[in-house]
Structure 1
Amino acid sequence: GDAFLALWKTDKRTFLCHTIHTVIACALIIQHSYSSYETDVKVNLRVKLAISAGNLIFAPIGTGIDMNYVIFGLPVIEAKAAESVCTSGEVKLTATAWGHCYSRNYDHLVHEDGHVTIRSILYDPHESDVTKPFLGFGNMIRQVKKPLNNIENLTDYLCDSSKSISAMDVIKKNEALNLRKTILLAEERNIGSEIRKFMIRPVLTQIDAHQPLEYLTEMRQVSILFITLKPKDCSFPQLITIVNNSYQITCEIVYKSMGCVNKIILFDKDVMILVIFGLRGFKHESEAQAALKCAYNIKKSVSALDGVQEVSIGITTGQVYCGVVGHPLRREFTVIGAIVNKAARLMCGFR
């Protein structure tokens, strides 16, 4: 299955219990809307949701134009552990997150392992009247199901500052951007050049050519490298150094071979890197051969790093869906298909 990591930031002006309540409400809405979702190809998707809380480490990694970031810490590890014992349709809290909640506000079940299953919300902690029952998710669900017509062309405005837009369009744009205020902040600080360092090169090429990102959507023959490296037991600062060094070496080897580093994921101190050969602008005849050579060089170089215990790589070639996916305000380039899953299974199966 696929996994998403969503974060809610809490500042000094916000009670952590209120933030966790918002997350619980969001999780219950997701389960209400998509707990058993039938796709166009008649496949039922089921959702498991786990919630944790605490301090996280955000660490930029890489150098030059090949930057990325990792987010990790005890809450991520605990959330992963809670998700592993979830059943489809459940919303489960870790003991740490539950420790910040008022139990009377929720219909819940406490398990022997300390995890807590939330069935429903009884009272809203934001209400001044603590005896007032929770009125339900009506307004929030209507907002979730609201069509994206107002913001579907928003990326054109964001990517092309030379495009003139009317006063009404400016108002619509600002209303839409309020859904994700960090974009407004990025515009105010004019940090577009810094953000470019974190974007995959085919996407940058498309943006620089003032072409819609939808043009990147296609079925394409590619070669996939799924890399996992297992660091030795170490502190979080040491782990950042290991991940950063591994990522920089991987990027250098991959781009010399005309490949693209698409993702880096850090879960439970295991590092996973997804590399793609054959994307638009990086296509060449011997990409499968280049992928094999690249994998050999990565394994040899990264394994030699101090602190790396094990490196495993799965390699496949075939047709995949390539394209930009996600909400107009939170998109990413990805590849989807059987060969991606197969590369991941090979990576895990031959460690």
Structure 2
Amino acid sequence: MASAWERKWQYSDLGKKVVFLPSILLCELFIDPGFPMMLHGVLLLLDVSGFTTLSEKCVQRSGPDRGAEELAQTLNAFMRDILEEVLAFGGDILKFAGDAVLVLWRATQPQLPKAITLALQCCRKIQKKYGTRDTHVGLRLHLKIGISTGTLAFLSVRGGDQQYFFIYSRALNDVIEAQSLSAAHQVMLSQTCWEQCEQWRIWAKPLPGRRVVKVVGMRRLSRQQCQVAVGQLDQYTAEWHLEGSGLRRPALKMPNDPDVATRLEKHLPAAVLHKLHQDVPLELCSELRLVTSLFVQLQFVVRINVEDLSRSLSDSSSMISEIISPHKGEINKTLLFDKGCTFLCVFGFSGAKLASESIHALECAMQIVRMASTRLTKLQRVSVGVSSGMAFCGLTGHPERFEHTALGFKVNLAARMMVSYPGLVSCDAETYAASRLPSDCFKELPRRNMKGVTNSPTVYQYVGITEKW
């Protein structure tokens, strides 16, 4: 894995932080705004279909240790090629979600048609070159891509000592729907995106009964036209640039600025800061570790305005951080989809290992449910999935834009349990066994089919430590 992050240039000290963050956070407008900031843009959601099944097959073929490493190597090789194209077309990589990536082309209202063309040409090229990938376990991966556009609310909220950002808008819901309706080698546009694009360049077919159109062809831009278009949008996507650096993201060579560094550090996970403060080279920030993954989904009421949502997200982030931090857990990922917010919390990263880790995670899960139910006024439902097992803990993405996260079948399983058993604290058999808690702390749940999981595992509901125990 070390060679995956090596480049002929060296990042600046500040660049080592920038590489974990989207370019939009470098813009002056988004320096800890404290309230929703409105912008226009084009969203792209790219998902690798078959990732959960791949993670399961890697473990079945090579065992939990080697399987987790093989999964990370396969995903990184695939993602590097794809994200190289995204960066070349001026896309700002906002969020990673394991096997999915959310990208933004920020633009003014008049520039949206050209931004849509850029995003679409990028996607068509990606689907042509990388739309299908055969893996070493005999499984074929496919890309599913959706594009939308509109007015976006940029939300920046505090959670403990850290800062988290979210994008919220109808366009986010639209891009999720478009991507979900996509199939292998397809690109789907939301209806709003279709209405605002340069239609004379695009051949498309509407999907009956859906506000989505399937792109079947387009008049492509020349390389020079693409470069001009990217340059025109660039002033709106990243304001910190250096010429002649040879990087897709010249901001990685930014001179050191203590004020900027301090601000950016608030957005970095504790595991990343721990490595950076120890001057650990980026290529050595990955390892295999036994961790416990805790996925939390907070489903808010349907009718919630952006101000109330921003307040709820801030309260949620602070509450979860307050609960898990004393137990050495950390919020690794935050995602906002369709008025539901998902947090990935990880227990057991380097420098944060405790004995009886599964008990800490389960009790944190129960506290989150109890406190969320009483403190979050706009909450409709809270669901938690907890799993334990070997995971690849390290860098995933592209050498110029990556994240530090946990990857593995058990991590995916926690997310699937969270969705399949709504309103409960669910856990896998390994967490149940490792906790060594009495059986009356748990209830075995009916087996359910989970997306991408071929053999439905035994799942338990954690009901809490009883007074009897």
Q: Under a length normalisation based on structure 1, what TM-score does the superposition of the two structures give?
A: 0.82
Determine if contact 1:65/1:196 at 8 Å carries over to the other structure: no
SS in 1 for 2:272: helix
State which of 119, 132, 137 in structure 2 corresponds to 1:23: 119
SS in 2 for 1:15: helix
Q: Which residue of 1 aligns with 2:371?
A: 301
1:58-73 equivalent positions in 2, closer than 5 A: 58-63=154-159, 65-73=161-169
1:199-218 equivalent positions in 2, closer than 5 A: 199-218=268-287
Q: Which residue of 1 aligns with 2:325?
A: 255
Greater mean deviation of Cα atoms: 78-87 or 50-59 = 78-87
Q: Which residue of 2 aligns with 1:336?
A: 407
Greater mean deviation of Cα atoms: 60-69 or 218-227 = 60-69
Q: CA deviation at 1:180?
A: 2.4
Q: Which runs of 5 or more structure 1 residues have no equivalent in the other structure?
A: 125-134, 141-169
Q: Which residue of 2 aligns with 1:9?
A: 106
Q: Distance in 1 between matches of 2:183 and 2:202?
A: 19
SS in 1 for 2:127: helix
State which of 286, 295, 302 in structure 2 corresponds to 1:226: 295
Describe the superposition over 1:313-337 as per-residue Cα deviations: whole angstroms up to 9, x where unpaired.
0111111111011112211111111
Aligned length: 308
Q: Which residue of 2 aligns with 1:44?
A: 140
Give me the CA root mean square deviation.
Answer: 2.4
Q: Distance in 1 between matches of 2:114 and 2:257?
A: 29
Q: Which residue of 1 aligns with 2:201?
A: 105
In structure 2, relative to structure 1, the CA distance for the partners of 1:79 and 1:58 (3 Å cut) is same
Q: Which residue of 2 aligns with 1:192?
A: 261
Q: Distance in 2 between matches of 1:63 and 1:247?
A: 4
SS in 1 for 2:119: helix
Q: Which runs of 5 or more structure 2 residues have no equivalent in the other structure?
A: 1-50, 52-98, 228-241, 423-469
Determine if contact 1:65/1:198 at 8 Å carries over to the other structure: no
What is the percentage of aligned positions where both structures have the same residue?
Answer: 29
Q: Distance in 1 between matches of 2:380 and 2:255?
A: 38
* AA aligned opposite 2:378: G
Q: Which residue of 2 aligns with 1:149?
A: none
Greater mean deviation of Cα atoms: 180-189 or 219-228 = 180-189
In structure 2, relative to structure 1, the CA distance for the partners of 1:299 and 1:186 (3 Å cut) is farther
Q: CA deviation at 1:184?
A: 6.2
1:321-332 equivalent positions in 2, closer than 5 A: 321-332=392-403
SS in 2 for 1:5: strand
Describe the superposition over 1:52-100 as per-residue Cα deviations: whole angstroms up to 9, x where unpaired.
0011111111145321111111111011111122122111111101111
SS in 2 for 1:61: strand
SS in 2 for 1:175: coil
* AA aligned opposite 2:108: D
In structure 2, relative to structure 1, the CA distance for the partners of 1:51 and 1:285 (3 Å cut) is same
State which of 82, 87, 111 in structure 1 corresponds to 2:183: 87
Q: Which residue of 2 aligns with 1:246?
A: 316
SS in 2 for 1:51: strand
Q: Distance in 2 between matches of 1:223 and 1:68?
A: 22
* AA aligned opposite 1:303: S
In structure 2, relative to structure 1, the CA distance for the partners of 1:242 and 1:80 (3 Å cut) is same
Q: CA deviation at 1:188?
A: 6.9
Q: Distance in 1 between matches of 2:216 and 2:205?
A: 8
Greater mean deviation of Cα atoms: 112-121 or 25-34 = 112-121
Describe the superposition over 1:264-300 as per-residue Cα deviations: whole angstroms up to 9, x where unpaired.
1000111100001111000111111111111111111
In structure 2, relative to structure 1, the CA distance for the partners of 1:248 and 1:337 (3 Å cut) is same
Determine if contact 1:186/1:192 at 8 Å carries over to the other structure: no
Determine if contact 1:52/1:76 at 8 Å carries over to the other structure: yes
Q: Distance in 2 between matches of 1:184 and 1:232?
A: 44
Q: Which residue of 1 aligns with 2:418?
A: 347
Q: CA deviation at 1:348?
A: 1.0
Matched, 1:277 2:347: yes
Q: Distance in 2 between matches of 1:83 and 1:97?
A: 13
Q: Which residue of 1 aligns with 2:383?
A: 312
Greater relative CO, 1 or 2 (CA 8 Å, sep 6+): 2
Greater mean deviation of Cα atoms: 110-119 or 243-252 = 110-119
* AA aligned opposite 2:189: L
* AA aligned opposite 1:80: I
Matched, 1:265 2:362: no
